[in-house]
A = this chain, B = another copy of it.
Amino acid sequence: MPQHSHDTQIDESQPQPLTKDPSCRRRSQRCHQAILSATIELLEEKGYSGVSVEAIAARAGVGKQTIYRWWTCKAGVIMEAYADYAAKSVPMPETGSVKEDLRQILHQLSTILTTTSTGAALAGLIAEAQANPEMADVFREKFVASRRAMTRTILERGIERGELRPDFNMDVAIDVTYGPVWYRLLIKHAPLDETFVEELVTMLMVWMQVQ
């Protein structure tokens, strides 16, 4: 992960509606980090709805205003707290095989969603986004777009290599890749496990492969 070292730069270099003051002349790294850590702790302990700005501030030993100075709302803080897991730690796989690439991506995604509090966080964020279009935009950009773009690249490369047929609908293919994962995450009717990922990838390949 070569890009991992300049995290901070990535998080704050791009203007985001749910955070403030991108110029960010002076901000205490200590309290910035304390806020994000407190957020993750609270989310793990009490779930998404158990997180309140007041609780974050108290846990982080920070004034509420310090939070509102840099973020517009609770969701903004949570998004930033989970930005690492969900957005940056997605290495573009380069196995030469579409199936293996997809397998790696979905495996990594489902692992993060099930073994950390990221699943609860993102489910809550999706929930919030239903009531807040601006938040929905940021969520898509931050947590959805990069994975979709990466997957698109993988599929396009597969087509170029002749591994995949060129006439399937790319957007639908990506929806079929991620939709079932989010579905299991949110509805919780069945586990989001290795078997599931394997079946899903197999199914995708059947459809997209040259027949």
Distance between A21 CB and nearest chain B CB, rounded to angstroms:
18
CA A187 to CA B123, docked complex, whole Å: 11
A contact face: mostly helix, strand, loop, or mixed? helix
- CB nearest to A137 among chain B residues: B188
Question: Contacts A130-B127, A189-B144; is A182 near B182 (CB within 8 Å)?
Answer: yes
The complex is assembled from copies of this chain, and their number is 4
Contact between chains at A136 and B172 (CB < 8 Å): no
A131: chain B residues at CB < 8 Å are 47-50, 124, 127
User: Is A186 an interface residue when CB atoms closer than 8 A count as contact?
Assistant: yes
Pick the interface stretch among A2-10, A32-40, A199-207.
A199-207
Contact, CB under 8 Å: B172 / A203:
yes
Taking a contact as CB atoms under 8 Å apart, the answer to whether A190 and B175 are in contact is yes
Q: Mark A189-200, 1 if CB is under 8 A from B, else 0.
A: 110000010011
Q: Number of contact residues on A: which range applies?
A: 35 or more
CB neighbors of B among A127-162 (8 A):
127-132, 136, 139-140, 144, 148
Give CA–CA (A139, B50) in the complex, Å. Answer: 21
The answer to whether B144 and A187 touch across the interface, beta carbons within 8 angstroms, is yes
- Among B128, B181, B206, the residue within 8 A (CB) of A127 is B128
- When the two chains form their complex, are residues A130 and B183 in contact, meaning their CB atoms are under 8 A apart? no
CA distance A136 to B130 in the complex (A): 17
Interface contacts beyond A126-B186, A127-B131, A130-B186: sample of 5 additional A-B pairs, CB < 8 Å, sorted by A? A120-B130, A176-B203, A179-B184, A182-B186, A206-B207
